[in-house]
Structure 1
Amino acid sequence: MKPPTLRIPDMTTAPLGIRTPDQRLRVFVSSTLKELAEERKSTRSAVERLHLAPVMFELGARPHPPRELYRAYLAQSDVFVGLYWERYGWVAPGETVSGLEDEYILAPALPKLIYIKETAGEREPRLGELLNQIREDDTASFKYFSTARELAVLVEGDLATLLAERFDQSRRTETAPSSAPAPTPAPARQEARRLPVPLTELIGRQTEVEALERMIGVDGARLVTVTGPGGIGKSRLAIDVASRLSGEFAGGTYFVDLAAVHDPLLVVNAIADALGIRDAGDTPLKAKVIGALRSRKMLLLLDNFEQIIDAADTVSELLVEAPQLHLLLTSRTLLRLSAERGFEVGPLELPALSGRASLAEVIAAPAVALFVERVHSVKPDFEVTESNYIAIGKICVALDGVPLALELAAARVRLLPPAAMLARLNRRLPLLEGGPRDLPVRQQTLRRTIEWSTQLLNAQEKNLLSALGVFDGAFSLEAVEAVAAMTAEAPETMPTDILTLLGRLVDNSLVRQEDRGEHAYFSMLSTVKEYALEELQRAGTLEYLRRRHADYFVALATAASGQLLGAQQGRWVEQLGHDRDNLRSAVRYLLDKNDLRAATRFAWSLYIYWWVDGNRGEVVGWMQEVLDAGARDGAKLDGLARAIALYYTCAISFWQDPDDRVVPGLTESAELFHEEGDAAGEALALVSLALAMLVARTPDPPRAEQVMERSLKLFSDSGNLWGQAMALVTMGRVELLQQRTTEALERFRRSLALARQVSDELGEGVALNHLGWASLFLGDRDAARNAFSESLILSARLAHGEGIAYGLEGFVAVAAAGGDVDTAGALLGASECLRELNGIYNAGSFSFHSSFVEQLRGPATAQQFEAARTAGRALTSAEAVDLALRV
């Protein structure tokens, strides 16, 4: 298909006068009638919007007018517009050509704008001959189009350009000497309507619009490049901003569509076309363009610049030669020019789907607002209700808030209600098809959009993009280098210079980069990830790369294991938190492959991380799978694997049926660790066994104390200081329950000293929290407050949700003991909410603040306390910590 062009017809033989509004210019529209009925309607509307007069047979003539009639029509017309598709048209008796061709032949002196509709079928042979004749005619401009709506935009824009050209020539003809050559035409002022007219409202981009307006209109940035992946809405945003800024540019605001331009040398031609500048060959076209731009304050919107990025030098030259020119570009990658200011467009804001999210809060999210608005365009009676709003919110989250994905999904609501659509979103790309016909073909399905975005990549860049599909969530440069590096097993598919190639993917907006602490992390949209996985499956390398992915994160977990109990604990917890999704993915792979030995040891090496990060409950689910698999085939589950699996499934939920399941399970776990020669594992299992005995239906502190003596000895004999600190805290808790507070205080102090000796902030926080309770029970409120403060600060630094909740509850008691009803109530509400939202359970036997709270529920303070408690539930975790530390 020949790329669209706009050649301004030679006006030397055409009339130059411009009619006033009461003598409007007439536009003759030539086409077959029935075949292009919708296109004729849209063309008529476009002509009338410019206050011109359409000349069309359906406005008064019979279907097949004689030659004399359309000759008379043509004689009265000023512009010829020809519309062609597949049919040549009817040949009247006695004639050798159809009326369609005859109309073209009879209009030699008129400027001619020709529009050819794209077809998947075949054109009639004689029409093909006519179109070949038109293509060779230098007095005719021609473009291709797909839809009636697209045609209307083209006709309106081209007619406006043509009339501006005629006006400029007629004005100069009146003043220029007859012997002087006609100067290069300069573009006349063009209004905002010359920009594409969006058919829908821009939703959820107010912040971006204001920022771009400020960059160009206030800060005076002359080159702004709007970047982002395909389907993110770069063009729509830029058009809206250009429209808003049109009044700031006396020289006009122009739209240059570069989607069909693949040769950097043709950028100047595209700009010239948009400005109405002819390339007659008399002067270099670039010189003409610069001449037209040099003295005008003008804004050019260059859309889809990414495939001609090598034309950056041309952009730089235009900015130098035309000091009042401003350029707004959309591209998947930056131009890397010194004058350039980049503006990255991200996904729309997503709804917060917490347990407290209301219908009003969900539909207020920009992503949901766009989705619902687009649904209404295909299903006007659609309603957001209490029964479907959560599913709608989850759809938007699953699609990452990408506007094109949301629009394509919305089109499916005619067939699938939200809940059914959500169930199918595990395979997004097949679902997201059938977009609006007036979108570019590449955007009518999300797969095409992604494929179009990869066309600029070389083979190694494409291979790396596919390899990244094995990662979940954010991933580090180190992980990419380890997983996707060249190996002897698959040298032909793995890229070598990872950093450079990854940079190219970031530049092309297929991968996003962000700094997290000292490390660079990367991520992909879920739809791009799905595309990458499909490419791996097609290439047959998916299994190989998933294995490498799992091997890398198993090795990372092994390295972390030795560092999670020392001075580097905070750093490793933070890093593992960044890698959380990939850690989960690695475990999932091992379980799916029935590699139970590797899965359990992986989970065990990250014990401290799961605890601090609050993910131990998730580990329970994995370990239950291990036990279930072992029950099916005991030979595949060795003693250590079963010991670990039993520990996790029982120790994490020691308050649930301890007599019937937990105590027996932990007893077996300790015995299996003993048989495997793992003293630390046995000792840790005994700690949890003692805790389970404390919350049994009939608590047994003496027996728990005996178990803890055994645990402490195991830790001591092996020189495990961290374990000794944990054992001492548990022993002190046993003593607190027996009201031996002074002995408990001493245990907590020894535990704190050991934790500090190994620089274990988690252990310090646990010991300090217990030290605070012992001090409070002994009547030393100042010592309690200081201990709770240190504990809370450490927990907040580690982002340890459970530790924060315990710390807030300590301050509930301190505030209650001091008669501060409002603070005690607010902190209780905040801690309760934190536990609920994060799934942090607190066994009744471990809750020391309850007795202090009961003192405030008497007749005198109950109402005040409950009001404060309700208000406290609205506090964020950080606000609650700040309030506690001010007690």
Structure 2
Amino acid sequence: MSTTHVIRTPDQRLRIFVSSTLQELAAERRAAQTAIERLHLAPVMFELGARPHPPRELYRAYLQQSDVFLGLYWERYGWVAPEETVSGLEDEYNLCPDDLPRLLYVKSPAAHREPRLSELLDRIRNDDRAAYKYFETPRELARLVESDLAILLAERFDQSRTSPIPVQKGAEAAADPVRLPTPLTGLVGREADVAELTRMLRTGTRLVTLVGPGGIGKSRLAIAAAREAARDYEDGSVFVDLSAVHDPARVPSRIAQALGVRDTGDAPIMENLTTALAGRSILLVLDNFEQVLEAAPALTALLAASPEVAILVTSRALLRVSAEQSYEVGPLADRQAVDLFVERAHAVKPDFEITDDNADAVAGVCDAVDGVPLAIELAAARVRVLPPAELLDRLDRRLSVLIGGSRDLPERQQTIRRTIEWSTQLLDDDQRRLLARLGVFEGGFTLEAAEYIGGADADVLSGLAALVDSSLVGQHGGDDRPRFSMQAIVREYAREQLAASGEQPAVRDAHARYFLELGDAARQDLKGRGQREWMQRLGDERDNLRAAERFLLDGHDWDRAAGLAFSLYLYWWVTGLLGEVRTWMDEALASQDPLAEHTRAIALYFSRTIMFWKDPDGSVAADLTESADLFRRTGDPDGEGLARISLALALLAGEKPDTDRAREVMETALELFRSVSSVWGESMALVLLGRVALRQGRLDEAQDHFAASLALTQRAGDRVGERIASYHRGWTELMRGDITAARADFALSVTVSAAVGHVEGIAYGLEGMVAVAALSGDVERAGRLAGAARALRERSGLHNGPTFTFHQRYLDDLLAGPDGAAVTAATAAGRELTVEQAVAEALAEGRGEPEEPRDEPG
């Protein structure tokens, strides 16, 4: 009779099995181990101690007992033991149980990857059970691992509930800054430039401007230098793309957006930005600054207020502000230019090589375009159909006669523009027309959008393929919706051609109509099971939505401008852009133009709703009342109900809450939402009625309202609504004395908020957990969570927290008690937690015995 020999892992916490080769990824394994342990999880790694078992038996047993498979890969396939057909690395992946989540990280670049590892990675990439990401440094890996494991913690909590609602894969960490993009191709011939820029930053230079003409490679160089220097900054580096920003006043908002700071509109964005950067060590990369040079003083103001912040700027012109150090980006040297040509030629003709027959022609092409990288790329894209000698002949003849833009442009700027024009001369008329029309997009576009503005009779798919082949348009991978983009200078050229054609007004109107229709399509799905998908899709189109709105506002097309804003209300709110929408609607109200009643209702709503929590003279409530009346007169019960929600919030938020009127307002709103079968509106109205009952001390009634709202949101698949309802029910249960139920509801609120990237929801959930920890006697945990929540609010620009949370009273009691010093220290430590760490802390089991909660809400 045989017995099963169980090999136990080191402890019984959530176990993360780490698979990799040992020597080549030693630093990365240490980084992964640190990230895992920071989340209070158990890494399962063979170097953590000798085991008296054969290796294959050991890792098979460990895999069976693990909760997550984490694979690290680079260049080595690993040793294949005698009588085995695969290495231990591949065997571990093969033996991974089907139901085990798989997080896989591949280090790049990898110039010498072994063929068998390439085969394994190709198989893994096609495995829909695995999440697959690239990284470059141990620090970047640690951030990815910590973020992804925190999301998995949230998923596991979610799936443990009686009626689980699946968290969609690939959820972004909330408030995650925009890290450095990973270029699709390598940087060629800039090693000395990277070294010099890194030296400048490391020796105390805090504002470096990379100057040079369009297409010279400033952006790629800045990214490479920032990646090298980022390890010297505790908070890493953040990339700020300004290519779609044309108004200098919007630069602080774009920086805030990249940092994850919300523009809530209730405080100046520069104030929020300064607060968010206070005490942080971070490198900002601001790309394409030449079109917003008037915003340069804002950069010096940020640097003055944030002594550990440094900025790399790319621009065609100097900023000319104090502390600026310029770095001129020049053309590639002869050998480097040829290397770049060959690399880009391989993309269209994999068998292309330099030979004795073509070497002079390739060098001549590089010389003809003055060694400008983008011009080299455009020329190299043609070797699929033209041999280098013919390419040189055509290029030389064309560049000698073409006039690319203004004659007062710098010589190399004229070179790149002439090269773009030469490239377009090789297209047919329809393809050139399509390129001009595509210039209307900001921040990229989909095939569907291109077909919409391309014209009903145009063969957009074939034309777009030709533009991609010519390197005038880039294609980026996606799931089922690939995106396309242009480099800034190509887009600038396309727009000039569009303006010259006389089609610009019609094409911009078509662009606006497309996004108006997109907003209409998203409006209902944003409130249900399509919520996450639409949030991601609209996030990709954020710059296009802004451009469409700007076109409508500039044309005083107030009706359509208000319609686009209102259809995407939930998106603007969750992503922290209500402040920007408010400025749009303020333009309409300040225009002195006669506004349609429905348009005025929308404009008043957006202009006042974000101010509901500070209404000393009652003007906010008065304007929201007018907005609700206008919605009613124009037959929009859904809009009226939404205005009434904000009105009720204003009535509850003052020093002397008018609970009776707020109840009356919300009872009417509830009837309105039910009359049009708006489940989302009904669930929100129930939450507000619950808040009124909570204010009036009727806990049972409040509990019923919150429970009913939660049930509605869960049936509808509305994750944002679920977050709101579960958070409020948590406070009611806390006040009723059920600490365990309150903990579960606050955990649900944190879980859902992390899954949909709702920063405000995470902050509220953390604050609820502060009260749970305080009442459970876990004073240090209460302090850590309070510090994390406060830091998250400061760094995200969220100011209205006191209106909706009651945790401060519990924290004050702890601070005034014998453990005050420990709480203060824990609060300071909590401020240093990342969002992912704070989420993991909130979802971990607490300690201590619960105390009696307070009866009255704050």
Q: Which residue in 2 is equivalent to 1:780?
A: 738
Match of 2:542 in 1: 580
Match of 1:464 among 430, 434, 437: 434
Q: 2:593 aligns with which of 633, 636, 643?
A: 633
Shift of 1:432: 10
Name the structure 2 match of 1:732.
690
CA deviations on 1:699-746 (whole Å, 9 max, x unpaired) are 111221122122222223333322221111001011112222121001
Deviation digits for residues 8-38 of structure 1 (CA, Å, limit 9, x no counterpart): xxxxxxxxxxxxxxxxxxxxxxxxxxxxxxx
Deviations 1:428-483 (A, max 9, x none): xxx99998999963635345325425533414444333322211113222111212
Q: Distance in 2 between the 1:497 and 1:779 partners?
A: 67
In the alignment, the residues of structure 2 paired with residue 754 and residue 236 of structure 1 have an alpha-carbon distance, to the nearest angstrom, of 59
CA contact (8 A) 1:663 1:692 kept: yes
Instruction: Give the alignment partner of residue 622 of structure 1, picking from 569, 576, 584.
Output: 584
Question: Equivalent residue for 1:211?
Answer: 109
For 2:525 and 2:787, the matched residues in 1 are separated by 36
Shift of 1:421: 12
1:701, 1:612 → 2: CA distance?
27
Q: TM-score, normalised on structure 2?
A: 0.55
Aligned residue identity for 1:600:
A
Query: For each residue in 1:291-343, what CA deviation from the matched residue of structure 2 results, as whole angstroms up to 9, or x when unmatched?
Result: xxxxxxxxxxxxxxxxxxxxxxxxxxxxxxxxxxxxxxxx99xxxxxxxxxxx
Pair 517,421 (structure 1): closer, same or farther in 2 beyond 3 Å: farther
Cα offset, 1:590, TM superposition: 0.6
CA contact (8 A) 1:349 1:366 kept: no
In structure 2, what is the equivalent of residue 528 of structure 1?
490
State the match for 2:419 in structure 1. 452
- Partner of residue 557, structure 1: 519
SS at match of 2:483: strand
Work out the CA distance in 1 between the residues paired with 2:416 and 2:307. Answer: 28
For the residue of structure 2 that corresponds to 1:566, the secondary structure is coil
For the pair 1:569 / 2:531, whether they are aligned, the reply is yes
TM-score, reference length from structure 1? 0.53
Per the alignment, residue 781 of structure 2 pairs with 823
Q: Matched residues in 2 for 1:432 and 1:734: separation?
A: 62
Superposition pairs of residues 533-548 of structure 1, within 5 angstroms: 533-548=495-510
Instruction: Quote the offset at 1:210 in angstroms.
Output: 8.7
Query: Would the alpha carbon gap of residues 498 and 867 (structure 1) be closer, same or farther in structure 2, given more than 3 Å must change?
Result: farther
Question: Cα distance, 1:619 vs. partner?
Answer: 1.2
Q: Which residue does 1:594 correspond to in 2?
A: 556
Q: Is the 8 A contact 1:597 1:638 kept in 2?
A: yes
Identity of aligned residues (%): 39
For 1:769, the equivalent position in structure 2 comes to 727
Q: Distance in 2 between matches of 1:878 and 1:507?
A: 41
Q: How far apart are residue 349 of structure 1 and its match?
A: 5.9
Provide the rounded CA distance (Å) in 2 between the counterparts of 1:570 and 1:874: 29
> Of the candidates 477, 488, 504, which is equivalent to residue 447 of structure 2?
477
Aligned CA distance change for structure 1 residues 871 and 467 (closer, same or farther; 3 Å): farther
C-alpha contact (below 8 Å) 1:433/1:446 kept by paired residues: no
Match of residue 341 from structure 1? none
Distance change >3 Å, CA 220–CA 236, structure 1 → 2: farther
Q: Secondary structure of the equivalent of 1:585?
A: helix
Cα deviation digits, residues 593-622 of structure 1 (max 9, x gap) = 100011111111112222222222221111
CA distance in 1, matches of 2:279, 2:766: 31
1:691 aligns with 2:589: no
Give the residue type in structure 2 aligned to 1:750. A
Aligned to 1:611: 573
Q: 1:436 to 1:527 in 2, by over 3 A?
A: same
Distance in structure 2 (CA, Å) of the matches to 1:574 and 1:437: 42
Structure-1 residue corresponding to 2:142: none
Q: Which residue of 2 aligns with 1:807?
A: 765
Q: How does 1:228-627 map to 2 (within 5 A)?
A: 234-237=187-190, 347-348=223-224, 351-352=237-238, 354=259, 355=273, 357=277, 361=281, 386-387=303-304, 396=313, 399=314, 409=317, 412=318, 416-417=320-321, 441=370, 443=372, 445-446=412-413, 448-453=415-420, 455-457=422-424, 458-459=427-428, 460-486=430-456, 496-627=458-589
Query: Pairwise mapping of residues 696-775 of structure 1 onto structure 2 (< 5 A)?
Result: 696-775=654-733
Q: Is the contact between residue 639 and residue 672 of structure 1 (CA under 8 Å) also seen in structure 2?
A: yes
Rate the CA distance shift 1:485–1:874 in 2: closer, same or farther, 3 A: farther
Once the 2 structures are TM-superposed, how far is the Cα of residue 658 of structure 1 from its aligned partner?
5.2
Rounded to whole Å, the distance in 2 between the matches of 1:647 and 1:804 is 26
After superposition, where does 1:98-137 map in structure 2 within 5 Å?
Answer: none
Residue equivalent to 1:260: none
Give the structure 1 partner of residue 349 of structure 2. none
1:650 to 608, 621, 624: 608
The one-letter code matched in structure 1 to 2:834 is T
Give, in whole Å, the separation in 1 of the partners of 2:301 and 2:571: 41
Indicate how the Cα distance of structure 1 residues 212 and 859 shifts in structure 2: closer, same or farther if over 3 A, else same. Answer: same
Shift of 1:628: 0.9
Q: In structure 2, give the amino acid aligned to 1:870.
A: A
The Cα shift of 1:540 comes to 2.8
Once residues 669 and 615 of structure 2 are traced to their aligned partners in structure 1, the CA distance between those partners, rounded to angstroms, is 23
**Cα deviation digits, residues 469-499 of structure 1 (max 9, x gap):** 2111132221112122355xxxxxxxx3333
Structure 1: 5+ residue stretches without partners: 1-207, 222-227, 242-330, 333-343, 372-382, 400-405, 423-430, 488-495
Query: CA separation in 2, counterparts of 1:680 and 1:360?
Result: 43
Distance in 2 (alpha carbons) for counterparts of 1:676 and 1:448: 57
Deviations 1:242-292 (A, max 9, x none): xxxxxxxxxxxxxxxxxxxxxxxxxxxxxxxxxxxxxxxxxxxxxxxxxxx
> C-alpha deviations, 1:754-797, integer Å up to 9, x for none?
22333322222211111111111111111111111222222222
Deviates more, 1:570-579 or 1:449-458: 449-458
Partner Cα distance (1:598, 1:829) in 2: 43
- C-alpha distance in 2, partners of 1:391/1:542? 45
Structure 1 residues 240 and 609, CA gap change in structure 2 (3 angstroms): closer
SS at match of 1:659: coil
Q: Distance in 2 between matches of 1:698 and 1:384?
A: 39
* Counterpart residue number, 1:856: 814
Q: Return the letter of the residue paired with 1:571.
A: E
Q: 1:418–1:393: structure 2 CA closer, same or farther, 3 Å change rule?
A: farther
**SS of equivalent residue, structure 2 residue 818:** coil
1:191-222: per-residue Cα shift (whole Å, max 9, x none)?
xxxxxxxxxxxxxxxxx99936546999999x
Q: Match for 2:415: what amino acid?
A: R
1: distance between equivalents of 2:597 and 2:757? 34
Q: Which amino acid aligns with 1:597?
A: D
Asked whether the 8 Å contact 2:644–2:666 carries over to 1, the reply is: yes
1:661 aligns to what? 619
658 and 483 in structure 1: CA distance in 2 versus 1, 3 angstrom threshold: farther
Q: Which has the bigger relative contact order, CA under 8 A and spacing at least 6? A: 2
Question: What amino acid does structure 2 have at the position aligned with 1:481?
Answer: E
| Partner amino acid, structure 2, of 1:722 | W
CA gap 1:391/1:857 in 2 versus in 1, 3 angstroms = closer
Query: Is the partner of 1:236 in helix, strand or coil?
Result: coil
- Alpha-carbon distance in 2 for matches of 1:418, 1:465: 40
What pairs with 1:138-153 in structure 2 (closer than 5 Å)?
Answer: none
